[in-house]
Amino acid sequence: MEKREIIAAAALAIMIALSAGCSKSPVNPQPKINGSTVLVYLFWGEGCPHCADEEQFLLEIAPNYNLDVKKYEVWHNQSSMEIFRKMAAAYGVSPDGVPMTFIGESYFVGFSDAIKSQIESKIIFCTQYNCTDPGEKLR
């Protein structure tokens, strides 16, 4: 009987040890940052898969930050295209590709895992340090 008790105790100890690492909360939860509102200008094209990916990304992270995303569809909207041209010129970049995103003094062309990380880092920076509104460059 003593051998059975030892085996049962060992099994129980293993189960407890294995379950100790389990958690229902995310491994790296993103804290809600209550800082300055960050203005994000997203120029995109209808049917562009990278644009759709970036739009989804911004929707997913928006609850964690004070984001104000201004979206401009440029393939089918001439007035949005004109704003895009002016914004790109103000940043010294050619408006040749979408998605193109403007945050503070920075711009991002395209969308990939690397750009996703850069965009979120810039948003965090602007939340903490109150970046300028990219739209100010149009005035």
Question: Where residue 116 falls among pLDDT bands split at 50, 70, 90?
Answer: very high
Query: What does the block give as tokens for 123?
Result: 């948003």
What per-residue confidence (pLDDT) applies to 26? Answer: 39
Q: Which residues of 56-69 are buried (b: 16+ CB within 10 A; e: fewer)?
A: eebeebeebbbbee
Query: What does the block give as tokens for 28?
Result: 């790296």
Q: Given the structure tokens 């294995």, which residue do they identify?
A: 18
Torsion of CA 62, 63, 66, 72, to 10 degrees: 20
Q: What is the pLDDT of residues 42-85, one digit of tens each?
A: 999 999 999 999 999 999 999 899 999 999 999 999 999 999 99
Q: Evaluate if residue 89 carries a pLDDT over 80.
A: yes
Contact between residue 97 and residue 111 where contact means Cβ atoms under 8 Å apart: no
> Which percentage of the chain shows pLDDT scores above 70?
75
User: Which pTM value belongs to this model?
Assistant: 0.75
| Helix, strand and coil percent figures for the chain, each rounded to 5 | 50, 15, 35
What is the three-class DSSP state of 103? strand
3 vs 43 pLDDT, higher one: 43
Q: What is the second-level CATH architecture of the domain 38-138?
A: 3-Layer(aba) Sandwich (3.40)
What per-residue confidence (pLDDT) applies to 79? Answer: 98
